[in-house]
């Protein structure tokens, strides 16, 4: 059965308010009173939209809020492709975030419709916690990243607050999952990702890593 969160993501009215109302509020909630997540998020946006000729994949792009920002910074043949399985989210993306270097595609993150080793950067922001079977998606992010390319994840993390009795079960009723501190980091490492950096900001975690380039025989 679909969770409340999954139904919300497929709701046309929700897609309309997501980028400018829901996402900023939700980002703030991740810091619960502080600004750590907002600050990190701003820095991450600047980093992801730095100028460069890159091929970027934004997995579970929603209405394309990050896809467009990333695309805006690209140069040369650079492109950012956003994939999502919600038709209302993609309709909103096409209406409001369709810039020259952005493209949107309906697809399931469990079976990303691109070949191995394709993208310079693969992002998956604010989505893994909504996906019932998220760890195979982490493997997919790594699969489509080219050797030397970067994987960027933002998701939930268990903290003292969310580890209080009943919190995870209550939150889980809506379909929202809270990851243990090591789960995403370990899955990335198990898939071969190196230089894994985890930054915990309040109730959220940003995890960045690099898919290693193959070692050439001497």
Ligand X SMILES: C[S@@+](CC[C@H](N)C(=O)[O-])C[C@H]1O[C@@H](n2cnc3c(N)ncnc32)[C@H](O)[C@@H]1O
In the complex, least distance from residue 132 CB atom to ligand X, rounded to whole angstroms: 8
Cβ pair 69, 45 in contact under 8 A: yes
Of residues 58-77, those binding ligand X (CB under 6 A)? 60-62, 65-66
Measured distance CA(149)–CA(135) in Å, rounded:
19
Of residues 101-130, those binding ligand X (CB under 6 A)? 108-110, 125-127, 130
In the complex, least distance from residue 154 CB atom to ligand X, rounded to whole angstroms: 7
193 touches ligand X (CB under 6 A):
no
In the complex, least distance from residue 58 CB atom to ligand X, rounded to whole angstroms: 7
- Of 48, 74, 76, 47, the closest CA to residue 61 belongs to 48
Kindly determine how many residues on this chain lie close enough to bind ligand X according to the rule CB under 6 A. 19
Using Cβ positions, the residue closest to ligand X within the complex turns out to be 62
Measured distance CA(60)–CA(115) in Å, rounded:
18
Q: Looking at beta carbons only, is 17 or 200 nearer to ligand X?
A: 17
Token pair for residue 136? 């195979």
9 touches ligand X (CB under 6 A):
yes
205 touches ligand X (CB under 6 A):
no
Q: Looking at beta carbons only, is 20 or 50 nearer to ligand X?
A: 20
Q: Looking at beta carbons only, is 131 or 191 nearer to ligand X?
A: 131
- Of 178, 184, 175, 185, the closest CA to residue 163 belongs to 178
Q: Looking at beta carbons only, is 55 or 112 nearer to ligand X?
A: 112
Given 30, 56, 69, 84, the residue binding ligand X (CB under 6 A) = 84
- Of 215, 194, 198, 216, the closest CA to residue 207 belongs to 198
Measured distance CA(162)–CA(164) in Å, rounded:
5
179 touches ligand X (CB under 6 A):
no
The sheet carrying 55-59 orders its strands as 102-106, 79-84, 55-59, 119-125, 145-156, 204-210, 194-201
Of residues 20-49, those binding ligand X (CB under 6 A)? 23
Given 11, 47, 85, 91, the residue binding ligand X (CB under 6 A) = 85
Token pair for residue 82? 């956003």
Cβ pair 53, 74 in contact under 8 A: yes
Interacting residues toward ligand X by CB under 6 A: 9, 23, 60-62, 65-66, 84-86, 89, 108-110, 125-127, 130-131
């Amino acid at each position: 059965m679909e969770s409340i969160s999954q139904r919300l993501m497929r709701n046309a009215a929700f897609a309309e308010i997501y980028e400018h109302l829901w996402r900023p509020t939700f980002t703030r909630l991740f810091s619960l009173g502080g600004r750590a997540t907002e600050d990190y998020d701003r820095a991450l946006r600047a980093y992801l939209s730095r100028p460069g000729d890159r091929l970027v994949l934004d997995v579970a792009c929603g209405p394309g809020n990050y896809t467009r920002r990333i695309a805006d910074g690209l140069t040369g043949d650079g492109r950012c492709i956003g994939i999502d399985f919600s038709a209302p989210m993609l309709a909103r993306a096409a209406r409001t975030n369709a810039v020259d270097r952005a493209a949107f595609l309906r697809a399931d993150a469990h079976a990303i419709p691109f070949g191995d080793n394709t993208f310079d950067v693969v992002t998956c922001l604010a989505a893994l916690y909504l996906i019932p079977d998220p760890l195979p998606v982490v493997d997919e992010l790594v699969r489509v990243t080219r050797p030397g390319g970067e994987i960027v994840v933002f998701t939930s993390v268990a903290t003292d607050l969310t580890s209080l009795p009943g919190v995870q079960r209550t939150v889980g009723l809506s379909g929202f999952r809270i990851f243990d501190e090591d789960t995403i980091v370990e899955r990335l490492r198990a898939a071969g990702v190196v230089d894994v950096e985890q930054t915990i900001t309040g109730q959220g975690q940003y995890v960045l890593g690099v898919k290693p380039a193959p070692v050439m025989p001497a």
